[in-house]
Amino acid sequence: MNTSIRKVAAALGVLLAAVFINLNFVQVVKGSDYRNAPDNQRVLLNEYASPRGQIIVGGGTGTAIATSVSTNDELKYLREYPEGPLYAPVTGFYSITATPSPYLGTEGIEKYEDSVLSGSDSRLFGRRLADILTGRNPRGGSVELTVDAATQKAAYDAMKDSHGNLRRGAVVALDPTTGAILAAVSTPSYDPSRLSLHDPSKILDYYAALNSDRARPLQNRDFNQLYFPGSTFKIVVSAAAIKAGYTPSTQIPAPNGYIASTGENVSSCKGDVINCVENFGGEKCFDGTKATLAFAFAKSCNTAFAELAVDQLHGQAIADEAKLFGFDPDNQLDIPMGVANSTLGPSGDLLDNGKLAHISFGQQSVGMTPLQAAMMSAAVANNGTLMRPYLVDKELAPDLSVLKQTKSSVMSQVLTVSQDKLLSEMMQDVVTKSYGTGGSAALSGYTVGGKTGTADTGATSASGVQPDAWFTGFALQGNTPRIAVAVIIENAGTNGSEVTGGLAAAPVARKVMEAYLKAHP
Amino acid sequence: MTGAFAQLRTPTRRNAELLMLLFSVMIVIAAEAAVEAAHDGHLSAHLATYAAVPITIGVITHLVIRRVAPYADPLLLPIAVLLNGLGLVMIHRLDLGEQQQAKDAGTTFGAQAPTQVLWTVIGVGLFIALIVFIRDHRALQRYAYTLALIGLVFLLLPALLPARFSEVNGARIWIRLAGFSIQPGEFAKILLTIFGAAYLVAKRDVLSLAGRRIGFATKKRFVGFDLPRGRDFGPVLAAWLICIAVLVRGHDLGTSLLFFGLFIVLLYVTTERVSWVIIGVLLFAAGAYLSYQLFGTVQTRVAIWLHLFDTSSPATDPTHCLSPAYVHCSSGYQMRQSLFGLGTGGIFGTGLGGGHPELVPLPATDFIMSSFGEETGLFGVVGLLVLYALFVARGLAAALAVRDSFGKLFATGLSFLMALQLFVVVAGVTRLLPETGLTTPFLSYGGSSLLANWVLLALLLRVSDAARRPATTPPPPPVAAAEPVGVTA
Confidence check: pLDDT of B208 > 60: yes
Dist CA B453 CA A214 (whole Å) = 69
pLDDT value at residue B17: 95
Contact call for residues A483 and A466 (beta carbons, < 8 A): no
Query: Do B423 and B408 form a contact (C-beta atoms < 8 A)?
Result: no
Within a 13 Å sphere around the CA of A467, how many CA atoms are in the beta-carbon half?
30
A424 is catalytic: no
Q: Which residue would you say has higher pLDDT here, A201 or B75?
A: B75
B356 with A18: Cβ contact below 8 A: no
8 A C-beta contact, residue A115 and residue A90: no
DSSP calls for B376-419: HHHHHHHHHHHHHHHHHHHHHHHHHH-SSHHHHHHHHHHHHHHH
- Residues forming a β-bridge with A160: A166
Query: Is A135 within 8 Å of B37 when comparing Cβ atoms?
Result: yes
Confirm if B341 and B371 have CB atoms less than 8 A apart. Answer: yes
Contact B287, B280 (CB under 8 A): no
- Asked, as a colleague might, if the bond just before A200 is cis with ω within 30 of 0, I would say no
What is the CB neighbour count within 10 angstroms for residue B28? 25
Local confidence band at B1 (pLDDT 50, 70, 90 cut-offs): very low
Distance from A73 to chain B by nearest Cα, in Å? 5
Q: Please give the DSSP secondary-structure letter assigned to residue A345.
A: -
> If pLDDT is split at 50, 70 and 90, which confidence band does B451 have?
very high
Instruction: Tell me if A22 and B355 make a contact (CB, 8 A cut-off).
Output: no
Segments in A135-183 forming alpha helices (H): 149-158
Torsion angle defined by CA atoms of residues A416, A418, A419 and A421, in that order, rounded to the nearest 10 degrees? 120
Q: Between the CA of residue A236 and those of A169, A188, A224, A245, A376, what are the distances in Å?
A: 22, 30, 21, 14, 8
% of chain B exceeding 70 in pLDDT: 81
| Banded pLDDT at B181 (limits 50, 70, 90) | confident
What does the CA dihedral B376, B377, B383, B384 come to, rounded to 10 degrees?
70
What residues in A contact B369, CB-CB < 8 Å? none
Evaluate if residue B167 carries a pLDDT over 80: no
Query: What chain B residue is nearest to A8 in terms of C-alpha separation?
Result: B265
Residue B480's pLDDT is 45
Partners of A14 on chain B (C-beta within 8 Å) are none
User: How far, in Å, CA of A64 to CA of A246, rounded?
Assistant: 49
**Nearest-angstrom CA–CA distance, A194 and A434:** 48
Indicate if the pLDDT at residue A154 is higher than 70. yes
* A364, A234 contact by CB (below 8 A): no
Measure A117 CA to nearest chain B CA, in Å: 20
Is pLDDT larger for residue A50 or for residue B71? B71
Q: Which residue has the higher pLDDT, A61 or A368?
A: A368
Q: Is the Cβ–Cβ distance between A290 and A254 less than 8 Å?
A: yes
> What is residue B129's predicted lDDT score, i.e. its pLDDT?
96
Give the pLDDT of residue B476: 61
B277 part of contact set with chain A, CB < 8 Å: no
Q: Are A393 and A144 in contact (CB under 8 A)?
A: yes
Q: Look at residue A320 in the predicted model and tell me its pLDDT.
A: 93
Residue B172: what are its φ and ψ, rounded to 5°? -95, 75
Is residue B477 predicted with pLDDT exceeding 60?
no
Do residues B135 and B404 lie in contact, with contact meaning Cβ atoms separated by under 8 Å? Answer: no
* Predicted TM-score (pTM) above 0.90: no
Tell me which chain A residues have a C-beta less than 8 angstroms from the C-beta of B339.
Answer: 26, 30, 34
Sign of CA dihedral A262, A263, A269, A272: positive
What average pLDDT score do residues A105-133 get? 80
Q: Helix (H) and strand (E) counts for chain B?
A: 18, 6
Backbone φ/ψ region at B485: left (φ over 0), alpha (ψ -120 to 50), beta = beta
* Parallel/antiparallel/unpaired status of strands A55-58 and A142-148: parallel
pLDDT for B321: 42
Predicted pLDDT at A25? 93
Number of helices and strands in chain A (H, E): 19, 18
Q: Is the pLDDT of residue B3 over 70?
A: no
Buried b / exposed e along A354-365 (16+ C-beta atoms within 10 A): bbbbbbbbbbbe
Q: Which residues make Cβ contacts (< 8 Å) with residue B481, sequence separation at least 6?
A: none
**pLDDT mean over B282-288:** 84
Tell which wins on pLDDT, A46 or A101: A46
Instruction: Report residue B472's pLDDT band, with 50, 70 and 90 as the boundaries.
Output: low
| Distance of residue B406 Cα from the nearest chain A Cα, in angstroms | 11
Check if B233 contacts A (Cβ < 8 Å): no
Q: Do B42 and A135 touch (CB under 8 A)?
A: yes
- Active-site choice (A68, A95, A231, A377): A231
DSSP A26: I
Q: Which of A209-218, A321-330, B170-179, B396-405 has the least mean pLDDT?
A: B170-179
The candidate with the shortest Cα–Cα distance to A123, out of A399, A464, A477, is A399
Q: Is A304 within 8 Å of A313 (Cβ atoms)? A: no
Q: Where are the beta strands (DSSP E) in A98-219?
A: 142-148, 169-174, 181-187
- Rounded to whole angstroms, the Cα distance separating A171 from A167 reads 11
Q: Measured between CA atoms, how close is B429 to chain A, in angstroms?
A: 10
Instruction: Report the amino acid identity of residue A152.
Output: Q
* Per-residue model confidence as pLDDT tens digits over B219-236: 666 666 666 666 666 766
Residue B317 confidence (pLDDT): 47
Chain B stretch 158-187, residues whose beta carbon is closer than 8 A to a beta carbon of chain A: none
Q: Which of B336, B356, B392 sits opposite A39 (nearest CB)?
A: B336
Taking residues A351-378, report their average pLDDT: 92
Give A494's pLDDT tier (boundaries 50, 70, 90): confident
| Tally of CB atoms within 10 A around A22 | 16
Instruction: Please check whether residue A80 is in contact with residue A359, taking contact to mean a CB–CB distance below 8 angstroms.
Output: no
Q: What is the pLDDT of residues A443-457, one digit of tens each?
A: 989 999 999 998 888
Dihedral of alpha carbons A365, A367, A373, A377, sign: negative
Amino acid sitting at position A494: T
**B475: DSSP letter:** P
Amino acid at residue number B246: V
- 8 Å CB contact of A19 and B430: yes
Q: Does B462 touch chain A (CB under 8 A)?
A: no
Angstroms from B139 CA to nearest CA on chain A = 21
Per-residue pLDDT, B329: 43
CA distance A12 to B269: 14
Return the pLDDT at B334: 82
pLDDT at position A399 is: 81
Backbone angles phi, psi at A60, to 5 degrees: 80, -10
Helices (H), A278-352: 293-299, 302-307, 314-325
pLDDT band with cut points at 50, 70 and 90 for residue B171 = low
pLDDT over threshold 90, residue A223: yes
pLDDT band, very low/low/confident/very high, at A411 (cuts 50, 70, 90): very high
Q: What is the ipTM of this complex?
A: 0.88
> Regarding predicted confidence, which is higher, A496 or B327?
A496
Q: Is there a contact between A3 and B382 if contact means CB atoms under 8 Å apart? A: no
pLDDT at B27: 95
Classify burial at A466, counting beta carbons within 10 Å of its beta carbon; exposed 0-12, middle 13-18, buried 19 or more.
buried
State the pLDDT at residue B244: 67
What would the pLDDT profile of A257-274 be if each residue is shown by its tens digit?
888 888 888 888 777 767
Output the pLDDT for position A363: 87
Q: What is the pLDDT of residue B6?
A: 47
Q: What pLDDT score was predicted for residue A176?
A: 96
**Distance (Å, rounded) from C-alpha B430 to C-alpha A23?**
7
Q: What is the pLDDT of residues A313-334, one digit of tens each?
A: 988 999 999 999 999 988 888 8
Taking the CA of residue B379 as centre, how many other CA atoms within 13 Å lie in the half-sphere pointing to its CB? Answer: 8
A462, A477 contact by CB (below 8 A)? no
Asked if A202 is an interface residue toward chain B (Cβ–Cβ < 8 A), one would say no
Per-range mean pLDDT, top range of A251-255, B59-63, B109-113: B59-63
How high is the pLDDT of residue B138?
A: 93
Determine what percent of chain A is predicted with pLDDT higher than 70: 93
Mean pLDDT estimate for chain A: 87
